[in-house]
Amino acid sequence: MALSILIVEDDLTFATMLKAWLGKKGFEVETAGTQLRARKLLAARDFSLVLSDLRLPDRDGIALLAWLREQKNTVPFIIMTGYAEIQTAVQAMKQGATDYVAKPVQPDILLKKIEEAIGEAAVVPQPVSAPRQDFLEGESEAARQLYDYVNLVAPTQMSVLINGASGTGKEYVAHRIHRLSKRAERPFIAIDCGSIPKDLAASEFFGHVKGSFTGALSDKVGAFEEANGGTLFLDEIGNLGYEVQIQLLRALQERRIRRIGSTKEIEVDVRLISATNENLKEAIAKGTFREDLYHRINEFTLRMPSLKERAEDILLFANFFLDQANRELEKNLVGFDAAASAALQEYPWPGNLRQLKNVIKRATLLAKGDFIALRDLGEEFAEQPVPDARAFSLHDEETERQRIVDALRQTKNNKTRAAQLLGVDRKTLYNKMKLYHIPQ
């Protein structure tokens, strides 16, 4: 008899995708879009596991968990949550949840957690601390689409070209592809093609033997040998000289390299991931990039969205970088005030995530109170017009409540977009909704 899973998720598209994917893994899957519907299904039959979103239209996943435990139902329970709510998910584990998984959900991680939860159903879960993450993927539609593609291409052997502006996280995506691939236990070697002197590029890629040129004082292993069996990531590949492009193409086609000054050929097996912020098709037209190499490195293309295209993620990343800055600078700031939150969302972010990280770190250092204020962000933010309508009233509670209700109605109860309209993060919005008894 197949193990059964109940997915409690109000995002119909995501729930359908999860159901189809878990069905292919051999599970019997039911879905519910509300806590009420989930209760009816749980009362009618037994499930092997419940996979629930933290935020639901009628109360939250923790309320469903509490109801289950009140019914003496010990079914394993996994919470799905965004980074900004991980602390809440950890609290849920203290209340009897088996585990949590961060969104965007990574299939391999989710499957492992499901197998562990079902296999350890008789074990009482112990409180845990939230893990420290090195990067945040985001919850916007652009982020979900990007990581859907990452999950699709990662298990294959296809060469991947990542297009995107500086600061958008191209190297993280390359790492993610490697970690989700069959080469995950083998090396990941990254080369910044923009920083290699042209006369040393061949040596960096293929290595050299002692005495092969002036300055070659000892043998050197090149990146292809270091990455053998694993993944080679070439950042800013458009900066490579034409001669090195020819050598690179030959190595990829023949799967053999030869160190400079050596006659011995070495077989190599690498998966290539490349990244660029240039338009390589224009470079081909100008004659500065080989078309045959372009087709060799571009079996699958990923486009990195700019931060401006991921407006829903700005406050999520801001809070993530604040946590990092708090640890590094030994501070304990709580978050951003309404004016600062609105300004962060209005700013165009030409430097993308890298710029946002630097701005938040500087603001964390400068902040005097518990919250980062507009003045802490820098002069360019003080010059940004922040519409008064976006900021919460600090004195008129009825007006504040009505603005929240209007924002939720306008966004069809989408909490992330409503928080954007109000110039606050989602955590603040949920706290205000609870304060004013606005149904969640």
pLDDT per position as a tens digit, 385-395? 544 433 444 34
Q: Do 149 and 297 belong together in one domain?
A: yes
Number of compact structural domains in the chain: 3
Average pLDDT over residues 292-304: 95
Average pLDDT over residues 333-361: 89
Residue 325 and residue 361 in contact, taking contact as beta carbons nearer than 8 Å? yes
Q: Do 289 and 330 belong together in one domain?
A: no
- Looking up tokens 């945040």 gives 136
Output the CA torsion sign for 325, 329, 330, 334.
Answer: negative
Average pLDDT over residues 287-297: 95
Domain end position, chosen among 260, 275, 303: 303
pLDDT score for 400: 76
Of all residues in the chain, what percent carry a pLDDT higher than 70? 90
pLDDT score for 1: 54
Report the C-alpha gap between 106 and 303 in whole angstroms.
19
Q: How confident is the model at residue 144 (pLDDT cuts 50, 70, 90)?
A: confident
pLDDT score for 154: 95
Higher pLDDT, 255 or 408: 255
Q: Do 169 and 211 belong together in one domain?
A: yes
Q: Which residues pair with 275 in a beta bridge?
A: 162
SS3 182: coil
Report the C-alpha gap between 231 and 240 in whole angstroms.
19
Alpha helix stretches (DSSP H) within 154-241 = 170-179, 201-206, 223-226
Domain end position, chosen among 303, 318, 344: 303
Tell me the CATH number at 232: 3.40.50.300
**Within-domain flag for 94:** yes
Report the C-alpha gap between 206 and 266 in whole angstroms.
10
Higher pLDDT, 233 or 403: 233
Q: Do 299 and 315 belong together in one domain?
A: no
Q: Identify whether 127 is preceded by a cis peptide bond (ω within 30 of 0).
A: no
Q: Do 277 and 319 belong together in one domain?
A: no
Q: How confident is the model at residue 209 (pLDDT cuts 50, 70, 90)?
A: confident
pLDDT score for 315: 83
Q: How confident is the model at residue 234 (pLDDT cuts 50, 70, 90)?
A: very high
Tell me the CATH number at 91: 3.40.50.2300
Q: Is 126's pLDDT higher than 50?
A: no
pLDDT score for 84: 56
Residue 254 and residue 213 in contact, taking contact as beta carbons nearer than 8 Å? no
Q: Is 129's pLDDT higher than 60?
A: no
* 146 Cβ contact partners less than 8 Å away, ≥ 6 residues apart: 173, 302, 303, 304, 305
Report the C-alpha gap between 426 and 103 in whole angstroms.
15
Q: Do 284 and 313 belong together in one domain?
A: no
Domain that holds residue 368: 308-435
* 367 Cβ contact partners less than 8 Å away, ≥ 6 residues apart: 331, 333, 373, 376
Q: Copy the structure tokens of residue 31.
A: 């879905």
Strand order in the sheet with 49-53: 28-32, 4-8, 49-53, 77-81, 99-102
Q: Do 341 and 376 belong together in one domain?
A: yes
Q: How confident is the model at residue 245 (pLDDT cuts 50, 70, 90)?
A: very high
Q: Do 251 and 337 belong together in one domain?
A: no
Q: Do 274 and 346 belong together in one domain?
A: no
Report the C-alpha gap between 54 and 4 in whole angstroms.
20
Report the C-alpha gap between 401 and 392 in whole angstroms.
9
**Within-domain flag for 56:** yes
pLDDT per position as a tens digit, 47-86? 999 999 988 887 888 899 999 999 999 999 999 987 556 6
pLDDT per position as a tens digit, 263-279? 899 999 999 999 999 99
**Within-domain flag for 132:** no
**Within-domain flag for 126:** no
Q: Is 121's pLDDT higher than 50?
A: no
Tell me the CATH number at 323: 1.10.8.60
Q: Do 247 and 341 belong together in one domain?
A: no
pLDDT score for 134: 63
Q: Is 5's pLDDT higher than 60?
A: yes
pLDDT score for 316: 82
Choice among 182-186, 205-209, 389-393 with the minimum mean pLDDT: 389-393
**Within-domain flag for 131:** no
**Within-domain flag for 256:** yes
Average pLDDT over residues 405-421: 75
Q: What is the pTM of this model?
A: 0.60
Report the C-alpha gap between 207 and 83 in whole angstroms.
42
**Within-domain flag for 249:** yes
Q: Do 19 and 108 belong together in one domain?
A: yes
SS3 208: strand
Residue 159 and residue 273 in contact, taking contact as beta carbons nearer than 8 Å? yes
Q: How far is CA 341 from the centre of its chain?
A: 21
Half-sphere exposure of 41 (CA within 13 A, CB side): 20
Residue 85 and residue 66 in contact, taking contact as beta carbons nearer than 8 Å? no
Q: Is 73 exposed, middle or buried (0-12, 13-18, 19+ CB in 10 A)?
A: middle
Domain end position, chosen among 282, 303, 324: 303
Q: Do 210 and 324 belong together in one domain?
A: no
**Within-domain flag for 399:** yes
